[in-house]
Amino acid sequence: MQLDFSAGVFDGTARYLEVGVRPAGFALIKLENKQTSGHSYWLYSGALAIPEDFGIYDENAGDYRIYIKGTNGNVGIGTTDPGAKLDINDDAHVHDLFVFDPRTVQKEIIISRINSSSRRR
């Protein structure tokens, strides 16, 4: 099924929402912006053909941006096999407050302050 939201609803560019079930039986919603620099994202129940998993797939990049393991609720950013409640496979930037319980930390945590003149963008 495809719902067309073009002229009269938005600004006239072709945008639509696609809701469907893949042949393997997994539900998905496709969000596509057909403008030149637009992206297509899939909200995918049954990600990687694993019935209990969920993912947000970036069709343009050919990769999952966010992945949730249904068996344990672990969330992965940059990984489809998160090994913790939040597993980030790349740099992370916390703007204000970072709190952890040192009694439960099992690995080394490195915290450093980056001054505004050297901050990565």
Over residues 9-42, the pLDDT tens digits come to 445 455 555 666 666 667 888 888 888 888 899 9
Reply yes or no on whether the pLDDT at 103 is more than 80. no
| pTM reported for the whole predicted model | 0.66
User: Is residue 99 in some structural domain?
Assistant: no
Count of CB atoms within 10 A of residue 91's CB?
A: 7
In a domain, 36, yes or no: yes
Give the highest mean pLDDT range of 1-15, 21-35, 36-50, 106-120. Answer: 36-50
9 Cβ partners below 8 Å, 6+ apart?
none
Q: Quote the number of domains for the chain.
A: 1
pLDDT at 91: 81
**Cβ-Cβ contacts under 8 Å for 67 (sequence gap 6 or more):** 47, 53, 54, 55, 56, 75, 76, 77, 79, 80, 82
Instruction: With respect to residue 101, please indicate whether it lies within any of the assigned structural domains.
Output: no
Mean pLDDT (the chain) is: 76
Full domain range(s) for residue 68: 2-88
Residue 104's pLDDT is 66
At 121, the pLDDT band (50, 70, 90 cuts) reads very low
Residue 17 near residue 3, CB atoms below 8 Å: yes
- Cβ atoms of 75 and 67 within 8 Å: the answer is yes
Let me know if residue 102 belongs to a domain.
no
